[in-house]
Amino acid sequence: MAFTACKKDKDGNDENGLNPTQTQNGFAINYTATWCGHCGNWGAPLIHDYAKDAPNGVAICSHASGDPMNNVLYDSFKGDRTTGGGIPSFWVGDVKTTDANAMKTLLNQASPCGVDYKYSIADGKMTVETKTKFFQAAQGDYYLSVLVLEDGINGNSQAGQYTQSGTSQSYPNDDYHHDFVLRASSVAGNAYGEKIVSNPAADTEIDKKYTITLDGSWKNPYAVCIIWKLDASGGAPNYKYINSLKKKN
């Protein structure tokens, strides 16, 4: 991982063209596994519904042990957002829920800040440039996650170890694909990223640049960004969700 500040041009605009907005974009995570029948039956449709409700937000599928898509980020995420002992398990923002309207409710939540980014892939590495902007003063420590996800992994009945259990009713055409698969983080092994600012004043901007090594087997990787506020005073999750953005090249 590496980060640098971005330069301004002579008119004061960012050369990288990034323009964060205060719009709330939403966040949901689904703890899942190929061997879990309920995950295929109702879990997969629900996370796709949340993603449809928040087309510019971040939907994540984090795969449990015994699944070929599992990695250490599963334990990192659930260390603060628990599964509750079983899967499928969902969080929308800071609420553990399976309410079909939860994302629509979250999209009405105000945010003091927003993030914009762009990414490119070359020589097996993803380079991500980000800009976070606070539109009003805020108190506390704020963190930024830059994560790599992947869509479109075949999970039908002919997909071998990637075959998703439980999809015969929810996907009767045997056309299931794993989407929103959590692959990597800009901070190795840490789903909640790095601290980028404390007690930001209004109009504070933070520019970062990250380099993430990709696995050659990942066919459709893309970057997403999530802003958190670290606050242990109110109980778990301690990383309170603030805002997010998903952009696919």
Q: How many residues does the chain have?
A: 249
Q: Which carries the bigger pLDDT value, residue 6 or residue 80?
A: 80
What pTM value is reported for the model?
0.93
Which helix (H) or strand (E) segment holds residue 78: the answer is helix 73-78
pLDDT interval class at 14 (50, 70, 90): low
The Cα–Cα gap between 87 and 37 comes to 10
- Going by pLDDT thresholds of 50, 70 and 90, the confidence category of residue 54 is very high
| 6, pLDDT greater than 80 | no
pLDDT in tens, 183-214: 999 999 999 999 999 999 999 999 999 999 99
- For the cut 90, the answer to whether the pLDDT of residue 244 exceeds it is yes
Mean pLDDT of all residues in 225-230 = 98
Confidence of residue 16 (pLDDT cuts 50, 70, 90): confident
Q: Could you tell me the pLDDT band of residue 4, with boundaries at 50, 70 and 90?
A: very low
pLDDT band at 40 (very low <50, low <70, confident <90, very high): very high
Q: Is 80 exceeded by the pLDDT of residue 69?
A: yes
Share the mean pLDDT of the chain: 94
Per the structure block, which two tokens stand in for 82?
């628990």
CATH class label, 27-246: mainly beta
In the chain, domain spans: 27-246
Identify the residue with better confidence: 1 or 163: 163
How far is residue 81's CA from residue 144's CA, in Å, rounded to a whole number? 17
DSSP output for 124-176: TEEEEEEEEEESS---SEEEEEEEEEE--EE-STTSGGGPPTTHHHHSTTS--
